Structure 1
Amino acid sequence: MLADYEQLAELWARQGLLVRAIALCKVILRLDPAHEPARRLLAELDARRVDPHAPPGPAVPRPRALDAAAGTGLAGGEGESRASLLSRVGTRELLSMMETLVPRVFQPGESIVEEGQPGSSMFAIVEGSVEVVRTLKSGRRRTVAFIGEGEFFGEMSLLAGTPRFATVRAFERTAVLELTREQLEKLLQRHPSVEDVLQGFHRERLLEDVLRGNPLFRTLTPEQREALARDFQICTRPAGTLLLEQGKEVDALYLLLRGRCQVTHRHPDGHQVPLRTLGEGDMFGEIALMLGLAATATVCAETPCVLLRLDWGSCERHLLSDPGVCEALSRMGNERLLSSAGLYWESPAPVGTPRD
């Protein structure tokens, strides 16, 4: 397989497709860091890119720090699952994908994707690095990550059809390869297995981020989080979808990843009281889980939403058996009940409606 990649990289180099050839060399080194032919070709291509008239032959090696970053896939070394996307794709599929990707170059500070905008493509970083910027609930914008060579981003919007989750802009001069939805559809017609690879990679990265970053799951061991991740379901719901209905049975615990939901309470006389707006990272369904109740309020998607869903059986296996998680869920449910009760009594009743 690596010999095929090496021959194609050399062919692209001879054709002047330097960015693609460099990208493929980095794929080879990701799979086999000691692959000397790829290292020599990459050094030569780096020299030709700096000086187009440079003669063929070895060039000054790249700093070891950059080689290490290319080997781990992310500045800071964020684990093997993030570095393994390309290694999961078969030879023919990967070569088709590399031929499909379109090279683009961005200057420092230039936006590659914008938060909230429709997303119809994903990107692989060939050279350079990018910063990921998100808008917090307070309205402030904060850099939440830096991503380096070999990393992919933008796959959620491409695969789930949701708006961009964050702004990604070049931190330095950055070369990327772009895969659009139209190109992906053509690729999947020839190689349907690529979709499973992309979906699996996207799911693992998403769950890794959520389970590591959510305070509720921090008491779990890595092994427990890995087992929990296998049972989470990722689902998308359009605006207007009823996710929980007051008085109806609740069958799962939900974590809102993208979008907003409105929570309302229906009085006995039928009028609705708005309780709160749920945003990204909020959880719901925990009251029913801990107290065995039907839904105490209605939760409706205000915008298109992406959610993690964990059915009751999985909750019992993974969450209720852990004292730390169980205590956190109980505290969360009690605080929400008290908050809802306060909002209920503070809300003005319609004229002529008695208070009990």
Structure 2
Amino acid sequence: MSVHTDESDADAVVRQRALAGRIASRGRVDQALSELRRLEQLGAPGEAAAVCEALARLWAQGSQLLRAIVMCKHLSWLDPGHKRTQTFIANLYARYPASPTEEGGDRVLDDLELLLPEREDSVAVPLFSMLSQEAFAALLDAVEVRHYGVGLPVIREGDQGSSMFFLVEGRADVLRLLEGRGAPAESVGEGGVFGEMALLTDGPRMSTVMPSTPSVLLELSRARLTEIAQTYPLVERVVRGFCRKRAADQLMRTHSIFSSLRQAQRRSLSREFELRRVDAGVALLTAGEMGDGLYLLLRGRCTPYYIREDGQEIPLAVLREGDVFGEISLLLDKPVTATVRADVPGVLLKLSRPAFERHISTQPGLRDALTQLATARLQSTARLLSGR
């Protein structure tokens, strides 16, 4: 009798692995979840859990971490006490067996900087794997699986945001419609990441992300990140390092003032930018003082003020997402001509004066682009003041 049972168990394992292999070969999370639900409806939740575990392992071993995480989340729903597969994936992907010390954390961020920006998933996955095994498992537990159909926005421009997303499967369009910015044709593919600035500060979403195909995503909220960071502080540091690197890399690729730089030069310069959060009302530059760096506004809104001799503040053109400022003082080596104050909480990239001098002095094309920007800004200010 026991032999028959053993043979039945062995046959079941073979069937489960074969089914998992067939599903994995299709490479589709939505199809996998449909198959698992069918098993559940047939009254075989145990078999569904076994197939789910096999799928998670297959995808993890096949360098498809995000899909493996989706399977882990479904496995936790099928079997709430299951931890074996999460541990297996953490052992496979987490770079560190134990949480690094504070000094070790600096080395982790240095390692993060070495990653190349050309492929989205080369950066997104290390957001998980630049961690200890325990922190990795905690982050895996914190993300939630989301499903979106075509035409249902994941995030909406102007709405308050408090989470970031990983696109596991599908494709989405990134639309910018407010403030006359138009709707540039950008898209996010599998392995892409968006919304990460919402983990750093309050503020409105800077774009609408609309799925163009049925999509599966993982969502990480600021609340869950804060909760994890209480036990694993390095998680928050890695997220901040990820946001800084991603923003700086994108800046190097897309902003016109850096178009003259070669790829290696962009990569070198991007590492010099510091990510800064700023509260409303804080002065980033003060008229009459020497500027301390070049700023790029990632999130929020700032207003420059020309200060008259009688102390009256005259507002100039508002600075918005993507705007650069601080270049005039750096280029002319003179005090700042206008005070720049944050109107709302925001996030910026800052290139310090020493880093600016170290890089800009050797890049005539970049200096010319900044000089043109500074000249246009000075002329615009002069016209505005002359009309008062």
Shared fold (TM-score, shorter chain, > 0.5)? yes
Q: Hey, which bits of structure 1, 4+ residues long, moved more than 4 A? A: 12-27, 76-79
Q: Measure, in 1, the Cα distance between the counterparts of 2:349 and 2:249.
A: 12
Q: Which amino acid aligns with 2:232?
A: H
When normalised by structure 2's length, the TM-score is 0.68
Give the 3-state SS of the residue equivalent to 1:111 in structure 2.
coil
- 2:154, 2:211 within 8 Å by CA — same for their partners in 1? yes
Aligned counterpart in structure 2 of residue 286 of structure 1, from 327, 336, 339: 327
Q: Measure, in 2, the Cα distance between the counterparts of 1:266 and 1:305.
A: 23
Number of residues of Structure 1 aligned to a counterpart in Structure 2 = 298
Q: Which has the higher helix share?
A: 2
Q: Which has the higher strand share?
A: 1
In the TM superposition, residue 144 of structure 1 has moved relative to its aligned partner by: 4.3
Q: Measure, in 2, the Cα distance between the counterparts of 1:117 and 1:136.
A: 12
- State whether structure 2 residue 63 is matched by structure 1 residue 30: yes
- 2:139 corresponds to: 97
TM-superposition CA deviations, 1:157-198 (whole Å, max 9, x none): 023344322212222111222222332233333433322332
Q: Which amino acid aligns with 1:116?
A: G
Ranges in structure 1 where 5+ consecutive residues have no aligned partner: 1-5, 33-37, 46-75, 348-356
Give the 3-state SS of the residue equivalent to 1:276 in structure 2.
coil
- 2:261 corresponds to: 220
Aligned counterpart in structure 1 of residue 367 of structure 2, from 320, 326, 330: 326
TM-superposition CA deviations, 1:272-306 (whole Å, max 9, x none): 32221112221111111111211111211122222
Correspondences of 1:109-148 after superposition (within 5 Å): 109-135=151-177, 137-140=179-182, 142-148=183-189
Correspondences of 1:270-349 after superposition (within 5 Å): 270-347=311-388
- 1:257, 1:307 within 8 Å by CA — same for their partners in 2? yes
Give the 3-state SS of the residue equivalent to 2:176 in structure 1.
strand
Ranges in structure 2 where 5+ consecutive residues have no aligned partner: 1-16, 22-32, 37-44, 75-117
Q: Measure, in 1, the Cα distance between the counterparts of 2:357 and 2:349.
A: 16
In the TM superposition, residue 82 of structure 1 has moved relative to its aligned partner by: 4.5
- 1:72 corresponds to: none
Give the 3-state SS of the residue equivalent to 1:85 in structure 2.
helix
When normalised by structure 1's length, the TM-score is 0.74
Q: Which amino acid aligns with 1:245?
A: T
Q: Measure, in 2, the Cα distance between the counterparts of 1:187 and 1:78.
A: 24
Q: Measure, in 1, the Cα distance between the counterparts of 2:376 and 2:331.
A: 13
In the TM superposition, residue 19 of structure 1 has moved relative to its aligned partner by: 8.6
RMSD across aligned positions (CA): 3.1
TM-superposition CA deviations, 1:38-63 (whole Å, max 9, x none): 8xxx9xx9xxxxxxxxxxxxxxxxxx
Q: Measure, in 1, the Cα distance between the counterparts of 2:372 and 2:294.
A: 15
In the TM superposition, residue 214 of structure 1 has moved relative to its aligned partner by: 0.8
Q: Measure, in 1, the Cα distance between the counterparts of 2:218 and 2:332.
A: 50
- 2:287, 2:337 within 8 Å by CA — same for their partners in 1? yes
